[in-house]
Amino acid sequence: MSNLWIHPSLLLIGGALLLPLIPKAFKKAFLLGVPLLTFGLVLSMLGQPAAAHGQILFLNWTLTFGRVDSLSLVFAVIMSGMCCIGTLYGMHVEEDAQHSASWVYVSGSLGAIFAGDLLTLFLFWELMAFSSVFLIWFRRRPESTAAGFRYLLVHVAGGLSLLAGLILYVHATGSIAFNAFNIQHPSGAEYLILIGIILNAAVPPLHAWLPDAYPEGTFNGSVFLSAFTTKTAVYALCRGFAGMELLVWLGVIMALYGVVYAIIENDIRRLFAYHIVSQVGYMVAGVGIGTALAINGACAHAFAHILYKGLLFMGGGSVLYMTGETRMSQLGGLYKKMPWTFLLTLIGGLSISAFPLFSGFVSKSMIVQAGFDNPHLYWAAFFLMLAAIGTFYCNGLKVPYFVWFGKDKCSPAVRDRAGDPPWNMLAAMGIAAFFCVFLGCYTPALYNLLPNQAAAHAFHAYTPFHISETLQVLLFTALSFFLLVRLKKIEPHAGTNVDLDYFYRIGGRAFLWLARKPVQLVDTAVGEIYRVGGLVPLMKSATLVGLFDNHVIDGAVDGIASSVRGIGQRLRGVQRGAMQDNLTVGFAIVAGLILAFLFFKGFSS
Amino acid sequence: MNLLQIIEFLRRNLKTVVLGCVAVLILTVAADVVRWAMTAHSTETVAEEHASGFWATLFHVAENVPVFWTVFGFLGCLLLVIVSKAVIGPIVSKHEDFYDE
């Protein structure tokens, strides 16, 4: 065997950097080729013995970039696979930067999964946050820009907690290895690391960034967003905190919290986002239960979830892309225009609802079964069954009914635009739908990948009791739903549902109001100096650069010029004097400086 | 026959479709009764061992009473919707431009 081990993230980052230089004729092939190559590379690691590759000596520490074992591989397989599907879905998007951002995002996720030490984990953790925010900003609505900044701020705070925990942990133990922590008596450092991770897993009360940001992403960006951040956090929890009882509580709260908000939600993509919170709740509860079966369940559910949630977001994205509308109070009756989108989204809805023969059935049941195996956890298992009702109610019934059937509340413009999306979007949805059914029907495909093989072979999803139990719960949920529809009790209404992001949205505003007068004064003065001293020369030099660019290197580095322009536009946003943006950037810079200081201090002591 | 025609065919025959669905519901319940009748029930000793507290009792009922999950699904759905729409909804639901002001 060769010692050469290529990190899959390298392929994606390299691809992201090369993408602007690829001639148009080869672009589509390149867009498909890079993720497929990455996926193939990950698949080629299956069956090889667990090993630590890519070890680099850094100061006194050994950084491990490639810890390959059954736990990291099951996540890496589905993440790289989803990258192929997501890229195919958005393949017709002409803007290279969107594809580059999503590939860098996936590479951050893969890097975190293969990381064998906390420092490497942190590095890729931050790469994920800073690349994924572009998938929100590229929608270019004012709401998206604001949501992106909130997303970034929350993730910087989470990253800071992770980093602080990491430094304290390394200081206390002298080891940077990322293995199971002391879950019986966690230290303060371990709690800080846990907070950093569960923020990314969107555990209440640290969840509000998710339903705030994901529905504001681009139609294809949200497909990526739905898959990677939270499931990477689930991986990190499996690795570090398996069996921690606190997580059972948090997981059950999440599962129900997401369902309740989804039931009153009007926007389909926000509804799906709340169901990420709910479904990740199952995984977090599984990690908390911590038995071999439960960890298998958390991994299997993450695997199945990435496919069906991606499929649901692709369905929601298709509705957005084709009609420009995602509010159920403004949709309805679309089956005539978008029948295939309906069918494929319905498959996603049935999969997330754990219908027999669909993927959720074979994965969710492991977690619930692990709860029923322990008399002290019966309560958790019953609450998870209750959340399953809400899951089917929203994804399998409410969305398909009120978007594709029900009363037609579309505006004429929406109705005219509606139609099944381009072939590549339908193909991506078809592939995801195929795997949702395939995993549900052929269980070894998923079970052979799971980390605890003995428990995976001992578990059977398709027992008479379990099939009967699930069918009863789901079919009578459907009966309940149609009775409520007949009674006209559940018509979707326009409205905003306030979540915990209220506090930082309104709190931030109050802070701004207080600060406005003195800070505005200084800001105006500085802005004036800046304009005279900085902006005018900058404009002059930009004109010169523009001339040089136009006449000398325009043809050759068109792609680079366009990305410089993109950065310039972003910089212009900073100079515009919008208080909120200035403060955000200011805080980010200060936070960065503090981080750098702590970082080097931590290593020099 | 394309997909749209299939959907419209089903909509034209909605009565039959609804009857079919009702039949499926009845079959599901009947199948569970059959399954219950054919499996050996846990003996009293096993039940007593676990039967302490609310959740253990509920678990015992779920394991040994047929069509428990039918009731659970139907009432659970109503409960979730009522709690969400009547209790949580009025507290958190604001008008659409709430944050824009």
| Cis amide linkage into residue A215, ω under 30° from 0 | no
**Does residue B101 fall inside a structural domain?**
no
**Does residue B75 fall inside a structural domain?**
yes
Q: Residue B23 sits in which domain range?
A: 3-94
Question: Å from B45 to nearest chain A CA?
Answer: 16
Amino acid A558: pLDDT: 59
∠ Cα B42 B44 B48 (to 5°): 105
B23 close contact with A: CB closer than 8 A: no
Q: B93 vs A498: CB contact, 8 Å cut-off? A: yes
Amino acid A555: pLDDT: 57
Question: Into how many domains does chain B fold?
Answer: 1
- Nearest residue in chain A measured CA to CA from B76: A386
**Does residue B11 fall inside a structural domain?**
yes
Is-contact A66 A112, C-beta < 8 A?
A: no
**Does residue B80 fall inside a structural domain?**
yes
Is-contact A115 A64, C-beta < 8 A?
A: yes
How far is it, in rounded angstroms, from Cα A464 to Cα A471?
11
How far is it, in rounded angstroms, from Cα A287 to Cα A303?
14
- Is the pLDDT at A265 greater than 70? The verdict is yes
Q: ipTM for the complex? A: 0.91
Residue-wise pLDDT for A196-215, tens only, equals: 999 999 999 999 999 999 99
Residue identified by tokens 């148009």 is A24
Q: B35 vs A464: CB contact, 8 Å cut-off? A: yes
Tokens of residue A188, six digits = 């303060």
Tokens of residue A402, six digits = 């009120």
- Is the pLDDT at A557 greater than 60? The verdict is no
Beta-carbon contacts of A519 under 8 Å, excluding residues fewer than 6 positions away, are: A579
Query: Which has the minimum average pLDDT: A307-311, A597-601, B19-23?
Result: A597-601
**How many residue contacts between A and B have a Cβ separation below 8 Å?**
137
DSSP SS3 for A117: strand
- Is the pLDDT at A97 greater than 80? The verdict is yes
- Is the pLDDT at A603 greater than 90? The verdict is no
Count of other CB atoms within 10 angstroms of residue A34: 23
Amino acid A1: pLDDT: 41
Residue A535 confidence class, pLDDT cut points 50, 70, 90: confident
Amino acid A421: pLDDT: 94
What tens-digit pLDDT sequence spans chain B (101 residues)? 589 999 999 999 999 999 999 999 999 999 999 999 988 665 554 545 555 789 999 999 998 898 999 999 999 999 999 999 999 999 998 888 888 76
Q: Cβ contacts (< 8 Å) between B7 and chain A: which residues?
A: 335, 339, 342
**Does residue B24 fall inside a structural domain?**
yes
Amino acid A514: pLDDT: 77
**Does residue B99 fall inside a structural domain?**
no
Is-contact A102 A87, C-beta < 8 A?
A: yes
B14 close contact with A: CB closer than 8 A: no
- Is the pLDDT at A129 greater than 80? The verdict is yes
**Does residue B26 fall inside a structural domain?**
yes
How far is it, in rounded angstroms, from Cα A249 to Cα A258?
14
Among A114, A115, A111, smallest CA distance to A130 is for A111
**Does residue B53 fall inside a structural domain?**
yes
- Is the pLDDT at A2 greater than 60? The verdict is no
Residue A92 confidence class, pLDDT cut points 50, 70, 90: very high
Residue-wise pLDDT for A499-514, tens only, equals: 988 888 887 778 777 7
Amino acid B41: pLDDT: 62
Residue A540 confidence class, pLDDT cut points 50, 70, 90: confident
Tell me the whole-structure pTM to 2 decimals: 0.86
Amino acid B45: pLDDT: 46
In this complex, which of A375, A386, A471 lies closest to B76 when CB atoms are compared?
A: A386
How far is it, in rounded angstroms, from Cα B66 to Cα A389?
19
